[in-house]
Structure 1
Amino acid sequence: MDEELKNFIKVWISAIISIAYCYYISARIKSGVFRLLTVLPVCALFLVFPLFFSSVHFSGSIAFFLTWLANFKLILFSFDQGPLSPLPSTLSRFICFTCFPIKPQQNPNPQNQIPKWVFAIKVAIFGVLLHMYEYKQYLSPSLLLVLYSLHIYLELEIALMLVRGLVFMTLGCDLEPQSNEPYLATSLQDFWGHRWNLMVPAIFRVAVYTPVRRLAKRIMNSDQALFLGVFATFLVSGAVHELIFFYITHDMPTGEVTWFFVLHGLCTAAEVAVKKQTVVKRWWRVSPTMSVSQLLTVAFVVVTSGWLFFPPLIRSGMIERLANEALMPIDFVKSKLLGRRFCD
């Protein structure tokens, strides 16, 4: 673990230096292909960084923050697009907005802030879930699927909230929330576009959806172009997830994760097309069965996750490794407290 921590520190120091180079050098070059050429070496470096780790949390966090988010943001930055345009006023802001799934809040609304006690409840539930792995052999496949789904959701939610808090203390500016209670989604479009990991759809919207739809409109009608734009976005997301799974499992991709996103892309695109119909649009606005749609949406996400998303992680033992690594700090504190009691 000491070696992992050293590598983690070295990687982040290298990442900060690389991003500072983009801020001071690349930003001075006119946007376009030439700026992209100066950014690509940094992107290539960020592709290699996750390979330095065996820890799931270290490799996964580096892959998510640098290989995925930072690379997409820097490529968009090369063309004055995305969350790094206009150029942040300070280097510290440029580094934070490049590395982390955050963006400044334009019109802060206190009513939209999630109460602190909700976060505390999520942390408590997450702690209980981690200890449930000790009784894994007694749980049915359905309960295990719920356990895995809650684990992934809560761990990502807690990690992003902690990152958001640290960046807020560093920059002192209001930040957009990273998620919006995805378990309340009333449709797949609502889940993927407006509730789950909000920075990701914001980037894909600019990097994939809009350009694909714009190009497709030249050879097909608007509805077909929309369908293709949505499908392309999910296909790219599937490919990126395959890469991240490779970093954390060190197993060759099986294609299951890509098929998960292809399935959700097809269903989301079909849902968007159907909801554009006037009769359906009116019914959707006044429908009294939103709780049913929420249940169906969450159930579809969980069931398809158990079918296609989780199997590669389960086969590699990654889910249990996640739980064991998350319990390590707790076990460390417990051992220290017991040691002090023994000495007293």
Structure 2
Amino acid sequence: MSFISAWCLVIVSLCYTYVVSQLVSKGIGRMILFTPVFLYFFIVPLSLSNIHAVGITAFFISWLANFKLFLFALGRGPLSSNSTPISLPIFLFVSCLPVTIHLSPKPTTSYSHGGSKEGLLYYTIMATLLVLLIKVYEYTTKLPDKAVLTLFAIHIYLFLELTLFATATVVRALSGLELEPQFNKPYLATSLQDFWGRRWNLAVTGILRPTVYEPMVQLLSFLDPNWSRVLAVFATFVVSGLMHELIFFYMGGLMPDWKIMWFFLVHGLCTTVEIAIKRRVNGRWRFPIGVSRVLTFGFLMVTSLWLFMPVFNRGNIFERTLEEYTYAGAGVAEIKTIIASLL
């Protein structure tokens, strides 16, 4: 009930911003009128206790929706249109969910599964793997801590992929819109730039680009263009790190120890160095694709186990997640029993 109440207020708040946008032109006036919504969206996860509800609300609302509304107040971003204003239902979909409408003809990319049989099979396999992982957790006491964290890292990826796919599917069914995919097989990344820029959680990439990267490039325009872009990339990782720290504060209820921030600082530094080396080499030499994938995946896993994943133990997030799966399983079993008795 708290989750439903919170999201009802979120929808009411978004309707308010939509009405304001019809009455007040873009700029400082609209930004001031949006301020109460910004503040509410930052505190709404604190009203929830379920770990999945907190995580989803913090990501969808406190991060993505706030950033989209910030851009919208300035007349920019996915909620703004230079031609025909979007309708209220589409505004609600795009603002509070991690989806992006195609503003141009649908791209024919290899990862655009859509509703095809291939896509359904792909996500069915992922859902099956997630269920198997949850079953494996029954034996975690017999596994090393690093192995458990590795399994949970895979769990996080599967959960995010399935959640974002399900969200996009519902929006597509309700609105008839074709939506951009959220992941592009990140396990096939050949570099950090490829992983963060073109494969991992593209909703975040799409919102950080206009809110952080592009303004930083303009702000640093007095520098050499290569330097301004490199520094803008690093600044994007800093903002991403801060937002992840905030999300884990919501989920764990603990003051940050800044390991998550260090994870993104390390990756920001390494990604900028990688970009600089690529520009220096200019395609004259590169690792074989297989080697690049192994090195990229290895670096991601080592740094994740070192800096990112331990937060799940520190805030008891891992244990609370398993408890919620247990409660959900018991609830499903009880519903099945009730239905069987009625039949």
TM-score by length of 2: 0.92
Aligned to 1:241: 244
| Partners of 1:26 and 1:39 within 8 A in 2 | no
Identity of matched residues, %: 40
Aligned to 2:135: 131
Aligned to 2:95: 98
Are 2:335 and 1:332 aligned? no
Letter in 1 for 2:70: I
Aligned to 2:295: 296
TM-fit CA distance, 1:322: 1.8
Aligned to 1:77: 72
Aligned to 1:148: 152
1:279-333 alpha-carbon deviations (Å, 9 max, x no partner): 342434xx5x212111211111111111111112212210232233234333322
| Partners of 1:130 and 1:327 within 8 A in 2 | no
SS at match of 2:80: coil
TM-fit CA distance, 1:44: 0.5
Aligned to 1:207: 211
- Aligned counterparts of 2:150 and 2:178: Cα–Cα separation in 1: 34
- Aligned counterparts of 1:333 and 1:176: Cα–Cα separation in 2: 32
Letter in 1 for 2:63: W
Are 2:14 and 1:19 aligned? yes
Are 2:54 and 1:59 aligned? yes
TM-score by length of 1: 0.92
Aligned to 1:171: 175
- Aligned counterparts of 1:339 and 1:31: Cα–Cα separation in 2: 54
TM-fit CA distance, 1:155: 0.8
- Aligned counterparts of 2:284 and 2:318: Cα–Cα separation in 1: 43
Letter in 1 for 2:91: F
Going from structure 1 to structure 2, the CA distance change for 1:26 and 1:89 (only over 3 Å counts) comes to closer
TM-fit CA distance, 1:28: 2.8
**1:161-310 residue pairs with structure 2 within 5 A?**
161-218=165-222, 220-277=223-280, 279-284=281-286, 289-310=288-309
- Aligned counterparts of 1:41 and 1:336: Cα–Cα separation in 2: 41
Aligned to 1:160: 164
- Aligned counterparts of 2:107 and 2:235: Cα–Cα separation in 1: 33
Unaligned runs of 5+ in 2: 114-118
| Partners of 1:73 and 1:83 within 8 A in 2 | yes
Name which of 22, 27, 38 aligns with 2:33. Answer: 38
Structure 1 vs Structure 2 CA RMSD: 1.9
Aligned to 1:3: none
TM-fit CA distance, 1:210: 1.0
Unaligned runs of 5+ in 1: 1-5
Aligned residues: 334
- Aligned counterparts of 1:251 and 1:198: Cα–Cα separation in 2: 28
1:116-143 alpha-carbon deviations (Å, 9 max, x no partner): 1010000000001111111111112442
Aligned to 1:48: 43
1:218-251 alpha-carbon deviations (Å, 9 max, x no partner): 1x22222122101110001111111110000000
SS at match of 1:85: coil
Query: Which stretch of the first structure deviates more once superposed, 222-231 or 96-105?
Result: 222-231
Going from structure 1 to structure 2, the CA distance change for 1:211 and 1:254 (only over 3 Å counts) comes to same
| Partners of 1:31 and 1:78 within 8 A in 2 | yes
- Aligned counterparts of 1:320 and 1:124: Cα–Cα separation in 2: 21
SS at match of 1:332: helix
TM-fit CA distance, 1:145: 3.0
Going from structure 1 to structure 2, the CA distance change for 1:184 and 1:37 (only over 3 Å counts) comes to same
